[in-house]
Amino acid sequence: MKYFQTRSGRIADVLIYFVLGLLCLMIVIPFYNMLLYSFTPYKEAMTSAYTLVPSGFSLENYNVIFKDQRLVNAMWISVFNVVTGTAMSVGITTLGAYGLSRNIPFRKTLFYICLITMYFTAGIIPWYLHMRNIGIANTLLAMTVPSMLSVYNLILMRNYFLSIPVSLEESARIDGASDFTIMVSIFVPLAKPIIATIALFYAVWLWNDWWFPMMLVPDERLMPLPLLLRKLIIERSMTVIQTMSLGGDDYLKTSTRGVQMAAVSVATLPILLVYPFVQRYFTKGIMLGAIKA
């Protein structure tokens, strides 16, 4: 019986590692192909859409992106949006989650009102008119205010706060602590895992967001990096079409897809550099915040 259990356990481990290995390959191979394609010269890129073996090396795709003077400005705007937007979003989410986790009047009603917004919206046109009427169109606020609060993140943090023992709050109240002092001195330090997790969610969203800027920011000087890269790809596509229509295919040094892969690589790298610093909080934060108290 003991041998049977040991053998079954080994078979289960092999199957688990095999499935996890396949999942890792499904993630790593497309990313590897994206990087490889971004460095592939034009002639080789035209003969093969997918490759796992380098068939050449060229920086022309990245030259198309980095030679544009607007890139540096867009990069700084994206960094500013991520830093300020994440700070505001985490602050608002923390305040809202703490309030919804305490015994306040109409707590359930407020919670359900927030929950409804996850499934029902007014629509794009009313949303756009509202954003324009409050005066944030064509400003830096247009990239941070519309996505300042995520109800999903609010629920995660609320559930995390509900999992903290009530005795800690009661002890602080006996010592004369106010609600704000209790939140800052007790709940926030204990909630570092969920705060780091939610901050990562907000940072990734703000870094990759191009929809809100496209709708609200027509000024190129205020465009974040994802929106500018999208604009560069469209401009490059039009250039390729015009060149090929004139029979000038031999003069092309980059393909549209090569520029796309280079743009995605540039946009992905900063998040990949940040993720390892918060990864240790990620699993703990998302699991504890998902438990209903």
CATH of the domain at 101: 1.10.3720.10
Q: Could you tell me if residue 7 is inside a domain?
A: no
Q: Average pLDDT for residues 70-87, to the nearest whole number?
A: 89
Q: What is residue 251's predicted lDDT score, i.e. its pLDDT?
A: 47
Residue 84 scores a pLDDT above 90: yes
The tokens for 286 are 């998302």
More confident residue, 94 or 276: 94
End-to-end CA distance of the chain: 40
Cα distance between residue 91 and residue 80, in whole Å: 16
Place of tokens 């703990």: 284
Tell me how many domains the chain contains: 1
CA neighbor of 35 nearest in space, from 258, 274, 271:
258
Is residue 54 in a domain? no
Mean local confidence (pLDDT), 90-96:
93
Task: Return the structure tokens found at 103.
Answer: 């015994």
270 in Cβ contact with 290 (< 8 Å) = no
Q: How many percent of the chain have pLDDT more than 70?
A: 84
Q: Is residue 1 part of a domain?
A: no
Residue-level pLDDT at 167: 84
Rounded Cα distance, 138 and 133, in Å:
12
Contacts of 274 (CB under 8 A, 6+ apart): 200, 203
> Within a domain: residue 29?
no
Q: Is residue 205 situated within a structural domain?
A: yes
As a whole number of angstroms, the longest Cα–Cα distance in the chain is 82
DSSP code of 59?
Answer: -
pLDDT at 194: 86
**pLDDT beyond 80 at 268:** yes
10's tokens:
């080994």
Confidence of residue 164 (pLDDT cuts 50, 70, 90): confident
pTM of the full structure = 0.77
Q: Which residue has the higher pLDDT, 289 or 56?
A: 56
51 in a domain, yes or no? no
Measured distance CA(41)–CA(19) in Å, rounded? 35
Task: Give the pLDDT score at 93.
Answer: 94
In contact, 140 and 222? CB cutoff 8 Å: yes
Instruction: Tally the residues of the chain.
Output: 293
- Is 48 within the bounds of a domain? no
Q: Is residue 11 part of a domain?
A: no
By residue range, what is the domain housing residue 253?
59-290
pLDDT value, residue 245 = 60
- For the segment 10-46, what is each residue's pLDDT rounded down to a tens digit? 888 889 999 999 999 888 888 888 888 888 877 776 6
For residue 287, pLDDT beyond 60: no
Q: What is the mean pLDDT of residues 266-279?
A: 76
Mean pLDDT of 65-84: 85
Asked if the model's pLDDT at residue 65 lies above 90, the reply is no
Task: State the pLDDT at residue 91.
Answer: 93
Q: What are phi and psi of 198, to 5 degrees?
A: -70, -35
Q: What pLDDT is stored for residue 90 in this prediction?
A: 94
Task: Tell me if residue 134 falls in helix, strand or coil.
Answer: coil
